[in-house]
Homo-oligomer: A and B are copies of this chain.
């Protein structure tokens, strides 16, 4: 069976900065409130996750994830307001893409 699969990228000034991998990490950060726990859940090192986040923050032009210092758990990480808006936007695009891909595949002549 042949079907169409679509991959989403968000770009800033023409440069890709958010795709399904980075969104997965952001969602885990949002869910866990900790980059360490998010990294463990995604089976990558804490350092790798931070490098990835720093790259996203730079490419996004303003922070998407911010560190939270102190507190009972010894600090953590959370999405900034901008990061939350980006995730919301991505989710909305994802939903529309899913419907559109279904339509494309129903029309496929293979």
Q: Give me the interface of A with B, judged by CB distance under 8 Å.
A: 1-13, 16, 85-86, 89, 93, 96-97, 100, 104, 108-110
A96 and chain B: residue at smallest CB distance: B104
List B contacts of A110 (CB < 8 A).
85, 89
- Interchain CB contact (< 8 A) of A10 among B3, B10, B13: B3
Contact present for B13 and A9 (CB under 8 Å)? no
- Interchain CB contact (< 8 A) of A13 among B1, B8, B104: B1
List B contacts of A2 (CB < 8 A).
10-12, 86, 89
Contact present for A5 and B1 (CB under 8 Å)? no
List B contacts of A89 (CB < 8 A).
2, 108-110
Tell me, in angstroms, the Cα distance from A85 to B110 when the chains sit together.
Answer: 9
- 5 tightest Cβ-Cβ pairs between the two chains A and B: A7-B7, A5-B9, A6-B6, A2-B12, A5-B11
